[in-house]
């Protein structure tokens, strides 16, 4: 349904509704236990629910099936419609960070790994699958994607993001939104807008200037609305310019709606409205917080009921009929736009056929294969299967499904599936009949590694909400629990490390030179304590349910690694914050201990083959560029390269970043063959905010840089912008 029709139908329905019915459309409910008394605890007048599927699994011997979840959600919808005079169905919402999180749906790589593919089309296909697995059980709003740009990897939620780059975060965010919404699932980019502060501290007050906010942190959100068509957005917990984001009319009305033309609805982060008075202490009562948030532009308070608070605010005359109608109209319009009003029920029979179907599991495997970055290789990889008769495996990461414990699986239950394997289990199956796989404790490293033909160490670290770090080395002997505030939805998870992983890696590489480290993590790691003696490193991230197969295939050369880093890897925590698109220093960039350069730069990633670029040409259009080049595979293996186009501006009205990614293209090339491709650099790449904060194609002299990382530039061109045109 087009937007105009949705608005007209929503206005017609709004005119029939009582005040009570309207206020319930702005309220929500969430229950943690789905037991026999569940329906008694439900207030089915609430217009927004945390879908019950998320809570159906934790006290059962086997997880609930997709059809069971669909039936439970259908029952919620049925009772809600019966409770409303106008039979309005609720929005059943849930997480879908890297897979539909109502239960055991297909588990794709974590977003930071998605970004490493540099493949918008692949991410769009993943989002389409996630959207299908949400919609088929009746989940019609996904609280995703996370499009916060990470400029300090100490932030625990780095794993949820697409990394440090504005363009990459924008394109990945748009792909996610489009894929979800084509299935009638409302995309909800979050956390609007600047969700962490100095030191990577989650939800701390932001003192980011408006210039940096607009140049960096707002851009992915704007793209998600204007190109991705997202119908909702989640306000962040933190404050900006002295006002909590949930009550910030500058963000929620002036920028979001008046400037960008956003027509969807705004939801709070869980208990974010309550935080306006409890944490930020902007007001002295919850109902006053509810009122100031509503008037600022926030429409729905998640996750628990705010009905009585809204009634109080209305009775006190603080919110008016106009305030209420404006918010309700936005919610109703979205319900019509996604087809919920016309088809409110899911199809349980279809659910079992769609969820984790062969096509989706194959897509998860493809994504895992394309997301793993080869960081270092001194001729060790790929292992030769016919030359290895014994292989030693160490590290706790070998024993866990490589999905990550962050938004993976439903409440109080980690994601599981009978056909999903740990890295150790898959490696044993892969080498069955060919080689012996020996898993040993770290205490046995010298003995076991020395007598094997090869050795692997798979690391462990738990990251996520409520787990910010001041030390980014691999954790040693430790037991850590997730902070309470980060355990609202998934239940608190713990990390126990029984050995010093850095020391274990050093011992393994000393005992066996034919060895490799596989990093299973969601953010950069300080490798300074062991990288020099380590011959090979794979950054596997958390590659999802099919990740064990992808890791093994890359280790043995069945798949050629092609991923690139979406975030800078520093040499040590003392370099943070460290990101490639910094603005020029007035003096220098180094420290006493080092020159300030990273261990591995943004866009970096190795391959088992070699590539060459030549045949460059540039066509200048009035306000954009078209670059043509040839990529040749000069090695003996099929592979893929990511062509990256950066821009550096001087003589502009304001100081510009040293370089910024403005276009990229992943290209597959068979061994010995070449591909000629055209990469467009759009007009947006040359638009910036001048010293008076006017956005436009202002004058400047630019260097266009083409390469394979931000540090590996192969070809440059010069172009000028004058009077709004490129010359």
Whether 700 contacts 207, CB under 8 Å: no
Whether 531 contacts 367, CB under 8 Å: no
Closest CA relative to residue 160, chosen from 462, 648, 522, 421: 522
Closest CA relative to residue 348, chosen from 52, 56, 71: 71
Whether 272 contacts 246, CB under 8 Å: yes
DSSP bridge partners of 666:
642
CA gap 392, 147 in Å, rounded: 39
pLDDT tens for 585-642 read 999 999 999 999 999 999 999 999 999 999 999 999 989 999 999 999 999 999 999 9
Whether 528 contacts 571, CB under 8 Å: yes
CATH class of 611-726: mainly beta
pLDDT tens for 504-559 read 999 999 999 999 999 999 999 999 999 999 999 999 999 999 999 999 999 999 99
Closest CA relative to residue 193, chosen from 258, 256, 275: 256
Other Cβ atoms closer than 10 A to 670: 12
Closest CA relative to residue 251, chosen from 231, 236, 263: 236
Q: What are the sequence ranges of the domains in the chain?
A: 3-353, 372-575, 611-726
Which position has the token pair 């005040």?
19
What DSSP designation does 490 have? T
Which position has the token pair 């306006």?
276
Strand 28-29 and strand 48-50: pairing?
Answer: parallel
Q: What is the pLDDT of residue 485?
A: 62
Q: What is the pLDDT of residue 521?
A: 97
CA gap 491, 418 in Å, rounded: 22
**Exposure of 59 by Cβ count < 10 A (0-12 exposed, 13-18 middle, 19+ buried)?**
exposed
Angle between the N-to-C axes of helices 321-337 and 286-296, in degrees from 0 to 180, rounded to the nearest 10: 60
CATH topology of domain 372-575: Rossmann fold (3.40.50)
Q: Which CATH architecture has domain 3-353?
A: Alpha-Beta Barrel (3.20)
Closest CA relative to residue 536, chosen from 670, 368, 375: 375
Which position has the token pair 């300074």?
528
Other Cβ atoms closer than 10 A to 393: 24
Indicate if the pLDDT at residue 142 is higher than 70. yes
Q: What is the mean pLDDT of residues 348-361?
A: 98
Q: What is the pLDDT of residue 405?
A: 87
What DSSP designation does 338 have? T
pLDDT tens for 249-298 read 999 999 999 999 999 999 999 999 999 999 999 999 999 999 999 999 99
pLDDT band at 480 (very low <50, low <70, confident <90, very high): confident
């Amino acid at each position: 349904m087009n937007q105009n029709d949705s608005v007209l139908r929503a206005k017609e329905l709004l005119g029939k509704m009582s005040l009570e019915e309207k206020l319930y459309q702005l309220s929500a409910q969430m229950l943690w236990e789905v037991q026999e008394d569940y329906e008694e605890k439900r207030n089915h007048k609430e217009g927004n629910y945390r879908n019950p599927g998320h809570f159906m699994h934790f006290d059962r011997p086997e997880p609930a099936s997709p059809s069971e979840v669909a039936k439970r959600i259908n029952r919620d919808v049925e009772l809600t419609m019966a409770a409303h005079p106008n039979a309005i169905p609720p929005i059943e919402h849930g997480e879908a960070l890297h897979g539909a999180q109502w239960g055991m749906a297909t588990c794709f790589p974590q977003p930071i790994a998605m970004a490493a593919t540099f493949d918008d089309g692949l991410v769009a296909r993943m989002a389409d699958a996630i959207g299908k697995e949400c919609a088929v059980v009746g989940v019609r709003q996904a609280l995703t994607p996370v499009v916060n740009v990470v400029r300090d990897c100490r932030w625990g939620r780095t794993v949820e993001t697409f990394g440090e780059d504005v363009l990459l975060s924008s394109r990945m965010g748009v792909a996610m939104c489009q894929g979800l919404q084509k299935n009638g699932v409302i995309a909800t980019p979050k956390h609007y807008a600047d969700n962490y502060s100095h030191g990577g501290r989650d939800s701390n007050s932001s003192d980011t200037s408006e210039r940096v906010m607009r140049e960096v942190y707002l851009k992915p959100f704007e793209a998600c609305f204007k190109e991705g068509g997202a119908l909702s957005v989640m306000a962040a917990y933190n404050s900006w310019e002295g006002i909590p984001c949930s009550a910030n009319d500058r963000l929620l009305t002036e920028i979001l709606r008046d400037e960008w033309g956003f027509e969807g609805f705004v939801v709070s982060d869980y208990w974010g409205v309550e935080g306006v008075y409890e944490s930020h202490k902007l007001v002295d009562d919850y109902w006053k917080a509810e009122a100031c948030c509503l008037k600022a532009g926030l429409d729905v308070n998640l996750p628990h009921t705010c009905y009585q608070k809204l009634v109080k605010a209305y009775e006190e005359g603080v919110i008016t009929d106009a305030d209420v109608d404006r918010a309700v109209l936005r919610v109703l319009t979205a319900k019509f736009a996604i087809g919920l009003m016309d088809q409110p029920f899911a199809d349980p029979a279809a659910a079992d056929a769609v969820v984790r179907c062969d096509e989706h599991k194959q897509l998860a495997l493809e994504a895992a294969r394309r997301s793993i970055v080869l960081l270092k290789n001194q001729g060790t990889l790929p292992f030769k299967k016919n030359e290895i008769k014994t292989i030693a495996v160490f590290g706790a990461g070998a024993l866990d499904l490589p999905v990550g414990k962050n938004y993976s699986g439903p409440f109080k239950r980690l994601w599981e599936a009978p056909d999903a394997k740990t890295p150790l289990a898959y490696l044993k199956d892969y080498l069955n009949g060919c080689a012996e796989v020996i898993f040993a404790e770290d205490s046995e490293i010298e003995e076991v590694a020395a007598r094997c033909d090869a050795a692997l160490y798979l690391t462990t670290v738990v990251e996520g909400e409520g787990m910010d770090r001041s030390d980014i080395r691999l954790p040693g002997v430790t037991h850590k629990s997730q902070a309470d505030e980060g355990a609202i939805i998934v239940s608190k998870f713990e990390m126990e490390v029984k050995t010093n992983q850095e020391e274990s890696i050093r011992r393994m590489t000393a005992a066996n030179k034919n060895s490799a480290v596989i990093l299973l993590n969601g953010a950069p790691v300080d490798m300074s304590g062991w990288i020099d003696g380590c011959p090979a490193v794979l950054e596997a991230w958390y590659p999802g349910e099919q990740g064990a197969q992808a890791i093994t295939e890359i280790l043995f050369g069945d798949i050629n690694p092609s991923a690139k880093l979406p975030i800078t890897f520093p040499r040590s925590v003392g370099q943070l914050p460290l990101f490639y698109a910094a603005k020029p220093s007035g003096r220098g960039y180094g420290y006493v201990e080092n020159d300030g350069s990273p261990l591995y730069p943004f866009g970096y990633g190795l391959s088992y083959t070699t590539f060459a670029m030549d045949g460059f040409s540039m066509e200048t259009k009035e306000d954009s560029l078209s670059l043509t080049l040839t990529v040749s595979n000069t090695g003996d293996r099929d592979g893929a390269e990511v062509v990256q186009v950066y821009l550096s501006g001087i003589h502009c009205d304001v100081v510009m970043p040293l370089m910024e990614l403005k276009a990229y293209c992943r290209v597959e090339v068979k061994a010995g063959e070449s591909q000629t491709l055209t990469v467009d650099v759009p007009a947006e790449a040359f638009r910036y905010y001048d010293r008076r904060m006017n956005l436009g194609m202002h004058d400047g002299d630019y260097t266009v840089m083409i390469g394979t990382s931000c540090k590996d530039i192969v070809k440059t061109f010069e172009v000028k912008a004058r009077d709004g045109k490129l010359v």
